[in-house]
């Protein structure tokens, strides 16, 4: 008789056959989107296309910008004959900007004049100033995208954040008033955050130098009020970064190094842009109406007088939560009606 061979059980008992895991087929819609955003030029191209779509009527038709504060913007000049040195001293007194710009003490014209002059070599003046709005809209979205990416957030979400930033109602409303300087500061704010974030992440000196250069350009937008508060935001962000970094690494050397480099970056930016803000500072503290109070001529301005037109609490919260003041009025009115007319008292 032939013995029937039987398989001996493996050590460790019976092992169930492994189930085959179904791998999703590549090339799905989500995968295609991710691959598209990995392209180097995809995101800048998208932001540029969105900016062009928004200003489509102006770009592709013969229109000019009419601003509520500046009238028709630009001039009917084009080519080398219209070229002026944007770094030369200002020859005019402009009393409608920044409370008056002094022509003395070497006050240079605005940084955006550099872009405006270059554009005017190829486009007529009123077209050039309009294209500057397109450039600022693109810059706001793209710089916000770059900042969100430094936080290690997915490209798709960073792109959405950039769209929300570049098309924020407050930001785009400046095109109607012609406030190019305000748009410039808002567009450059995320770029300052990007330089600071990369300086801490890579520990490279050059990003602090870049931060100083961006600070100089922000001052050069000629809107010192917006620039002033944006620098406060960057300063608070630096304090957060430097202390969070210290709590993780417990390194006093890096703490002192980052603090010293940040101070160097601020000093570098202020030195580069001193020609733009120093004359304005001297003017507002000695000549303009800001140097006196309503109590009488020659009376030194005080902090109480300077803060006599602040935002109230509802308006301040509305900067973070839109329409907060209106909601508060509705809620307070509802509570007043409820407790005034529908309250029940014990007999």
| pTM exceeds 0.85 | no
Beta-bridged to residue 292, according to DSSP, are 300
Of 94, 69, 84, the closest CA to residue 280 belongs to 94
Cα distances from 123 to residues 173, 238, 270, 285, 313, in angstroms, run 24, 41, 33, 39, 46
Residues facing residue 71 across a β-bridge: 67
The backbone region for 6, taken as left when phi is positive above 0, alpha when psi lies in -120 to 50, beta otherwise, is beta
Q: Dig out the tokens for 23 from the structure.
A: 């791998």
- The token duo for 56 is 């489509």
pLDDT given at position 108: 45
Is residue 102 within 8 A of residue 279, CB to CB? The reply is: yes
Report residue 137 as tokens. 């809209």
pLDDT at position 176: 86
pLDDT tens series, the chain, 347 aa: 555 555 555 555 555 555 555 555 555 667 777 777 788 888 999 999 999 999 988 888 877 778 787 666 766 666 666 666 655 555 555 555 555 555 443 344 555 566 666 777 777 777 877 888 899 999 999 999 999 999 999 888 999 999 999 999 889 888 888 888 889 899 999 999 999 999 999 989 999 999 999 998 888 887 888 888 999 999 999 999 999 988 888 888 888 999 999 999 999 999 888 877 776 676 666 666 556 555 555 555 566 666 666 777 777 777 776 666 565 555 665 555 555 555 444 44
With beta carbons less than 8 A apart as the criterion, state whether 197 and 210 touch.
Answer: no
- CA dist., res. 181 & res. 218, Å (int): 9
């Amino acid at each position: 008789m032939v013995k029937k061979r039987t398989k001996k059980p493996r050590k460790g008992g019976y092992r169930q056959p492994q189930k085959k895991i179904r791998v999703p087929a590549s090339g799905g819609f989500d995968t295609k989107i991710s691959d598209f955003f990995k392209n180097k030029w995809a995101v800048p191209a998208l932001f540029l296309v969105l900016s062009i779509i928004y200003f489509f009527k102006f770009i592709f038709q013969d229109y000019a910008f009419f601003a509520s504060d500046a009238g028709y913007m630009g001039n009917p000049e084009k080519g080398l004959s219209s070229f002026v040195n944007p770094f030369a001293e200002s020859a005019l007194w402009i009393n409608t900007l920044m409370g008056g710009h002094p022509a003395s003490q070497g006050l240079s014209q605005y940084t955006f004049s550099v872009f405006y002059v270059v554009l005017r070599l190829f486009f007529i003046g009123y077209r050039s100033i309009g294209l500057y709005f397109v450039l600022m809209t693109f810059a706001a979205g793209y710089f916000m995208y770059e900042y969100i990416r430094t936080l290690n957030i997915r490209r798709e979400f960073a792109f959405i954040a950039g769209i929300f930033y570049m098309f924020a109602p407050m930001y785009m409303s400046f095109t109607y008033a012609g406030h190019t300087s305000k748009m410039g500061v808002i567009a450059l704010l995320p770029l300052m955050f990007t330089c600071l974030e990369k300086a801490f992440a890579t520990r490279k000196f050059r990003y602090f130098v870049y931060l100083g250069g961006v600070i100089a350009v922000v001052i050069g937008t000629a809107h010192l009020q917006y620039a002033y508060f944006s620098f406060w935001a960057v300063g608070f962000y630096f304090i957060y970064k430097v202390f969070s970094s210290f709590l993780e690494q417990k390194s006093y050397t890096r703490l002192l190094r980052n603090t010293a480099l940040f101070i160097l970056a601020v000093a570098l930016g202020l030195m580069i842009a001193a020609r733009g803000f120093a004359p304005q500072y001297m003017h507002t503290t000695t000549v303009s109406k800001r140097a006196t109070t309503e109590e009488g001529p020659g009376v030194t301005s005080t902090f109480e007088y300077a803060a006599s037109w602040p935002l109230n609490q509802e308006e301040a919260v509305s900067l973070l939560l839109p329409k907060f003041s209106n909601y508060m009025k509705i809620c307070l009115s509802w509570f007043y009606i409820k407790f005034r007319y529908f309250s029940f008292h014990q007999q």
